[in-house]
Amino acid sequence: MNDRAKNWLSLGNQQQNWDIEGVVRELRNARLDWRKTHGRTRELGGREFPSREALHDIVEALSGVLFPMRLGPPDLNESSEDFYVGHTLAQALDALVKQLQLELSYSARLQGLSDAKSEQNAVIIARGLAAELPRLRRILDADVHAAYVGDPAARSVDEVLLCYPGITAILYHRLAHYLYRAGATLVARIIAEIAHSDTGIDIHPGAQIGKGFFIDHGTGVVIGETAIIGERVRLYQAVTLGAKRFTSDADGKLEKGQPRHPIVEDDVVIYAGATLLGRITIGQGATIGGNVWLTRDVLPGSHITQANSQNITGTPQATR
């Protein structure tokens, strides 16, 4: 401990008798014990994991790149739009590579592999995301349009993009989903949790979501890792697309990555508070009423309410 730190600790002890030095020592011992137990005794000399704060800045920058005149800086004008996009994108990608490299290096060490190619692989992933941005912009345009036409309170697409938490959540998700599929699962998960904290909408980055997706209000929506959602689907607040049960291996450990969340086909509407669990299929054009609890398939075009959700037979008579 250097002299400056000792002086600071001594001052704290003199003022309030906090025993700061003792607490710092015991916290260090706790950290060392945990690292020894988990085989983390290698001296890294720096941060080992991606930074939530850095990724928050990166995603905000990429949001501005995608929608410069709405989500970019307040003094931007169209004459300098391309310059801003290019400059901001270059900075964001450079920063993203550093965060990706941290994850890839960490993952390689856990597997006992060399991390010599982590920077090269990080650049490949970041370059792929950059190339994907024009396609993502067009998909997000469809999401914004779906929110505008689906909500009578929306006065313009600009209002939707600037004000609707569902749009923020799906924007972050589409970036995170690309990174998740590219192998940067931790970075993707952190981005998803940033969106969750900012909007109250919890979308796992593994979820597959078609274009024209609209979450109205949004608070409390949960979408699991293996959920598959078609095009032009609309959800309301507190909808859950979750797992019914978790399979275990012979040793009793949970099996990871198994399909366990719903498949929602095109043009489905799911109203507030509905809970859909397990690998069930909600057929195209179905409507699921508020507070319905579903663990069985729903036929295309069905209208399911609390009154009939317990009597789904898998026949057209299930439609009301």
By DSSP bridging, strand 240-242 and strand 275-277 are parallel
Measured in degrees and rounded to the nearest 5, phi and psi for residue 190 equal: -65, -45
Q: How far apart are CA 279 and CA 228, in angstroms?
A: 10
Q: What is the pLDDT of residue 255?
A: 78
Neighbours of 152 (CB within 10 A): 6
Q: What is the pLDDT of residue 307?
A: 72
In order of their start, the domains of the chain are: 9-41 (no CATH), 50-200 (1.10.3130.10), 220-320 (2.160.10.10)
- The pLDDT value recorded for residue 9 is 62
Give the C-alpha distances (Å, rounded to integers) separating 34 from 23, 49, 187, 192, 302: 17, 16, 24, 27, 53
Residue 165 near residue 200 (C-beta atoms within 8 A): yes
What contacts 95, CB < 8 A, 6 or more positions away? 54, 57, 58, 61
pLDDT for position 13: 52
Return the SS3 of 63. helix
Separation between Cα atoms, residue 178 and residue 165, nearest integer Å? 20
Q: Cα 276 from chain centroid? A: 20
> What pLDDT, on a 0 to 100 scale, did the predictor assign at position 285?
98
Nearest-angstrom CA–CA distance, 144 and 150: 10
DSSP 278: S
What is the pLDDT at residue 5?
65
In this prediction, residue 112 carries a pLDDT of: 80
Taking the C-alpha atoms of residue 260 and residue 264, their distance in angstroms, rounded to an integer, is: 13
How many other C-beta atoms can be found within 10 angstroms of the C-beta atom of residue 306?
A: 13
The pLDDT of residue 36: 87
Identify the segments of the chain with pLDDT beneath 70: 1-15, 41-45, 309-320
Pick from 258, 262, 259: nearest CA to 241: 262
* Angle, vertex CA 302, rays to CA 296 and CA 303, nearest 5: 100
Residues 113-140 have pLDDT tens digits of 888 899 999 999 999 999 999 999 999 9
pTM over 0.75: yes
